[in-house]
Amino acid sequence: QFHLVESGGASVQTGGSLRLSCTVSGGSISNQCMGWYRQAPGKKREGVATIYTPNGIVNYAASVKGRFTISRDNAENVVYLQMDNLKPEDTAMYYCAATDFFVGPCVTDVHKSGDKWGQGTQVTVSS
């Protein structure tokens, strides 16, 4: 069964960096739209970045463009989110998602509740 596990979350200061990992088991990421999402307390879930694993095309939310980088290692079945120049507003629980059934391009918010999701990893950025 397709299973996603996020890791790498931590507490850092403003301007710091973190790399999140999404490790997939029970299936291959090689033909998926993979995404990173986040949800802060009291706020709606927000799409952060996506990557279409067959060709590596990426998409970012405006709030993280230029600071975050999504990448994948199809052989290792891992998707990464490199986060640089972190800000307090980046504080949230970060989730990884996967789908191979979607309409249109692989972009943020293409993943639905019924798709495959991990349990999340907490990122806290202090000022």
pLDDT 10s digits, 40-97? 999 999 999 999 999 999 999 999 999 999 999 999 999 999 999 999 999 999 999 9
Cβ atoms of residues 31 and 54 within 8 Å: yes
Averaged confidence pLDDT in the chain? 96
* Residues of the chain above pLDDT 90, percent: 91
Model confidence at 109, pLDDT cuts 50, 70, 90, reads confident
pLDDT band at 102 (very low <50, low <70, confident <90, very high): confident
pLDDT at site 3: 96
- Write the CB contacts of 13 (distance below 8 Å, at least 6 apart in sequence): 125, 126, 127
Whole-angstrom Cα distance, residue 112 to residue 64?
21
Q: Please state the rounded mean pLDDT for residues 99-119.
A: 91
User: How distant is the alpha carbon of residue 22 from its chain centre?
Assistant: 8
Report CA 66 to chain centroid distance, whole Å.
Answer: 15
Q: Do the beta carbons of residue 61 and residue 92 sit within 8 Å?
A: no
What pLDDT is attached to residue 7? 98
Residue entry with tokens 């279409």 = 52
- Once rounded to an integer, what is the mean pLDDT over residues 87-115? 93
Strand pairing category for 57-60 and 116-117:
unpaired
Q: Distance between CA 42 and CA 20 in Å, rounded?
A: 23
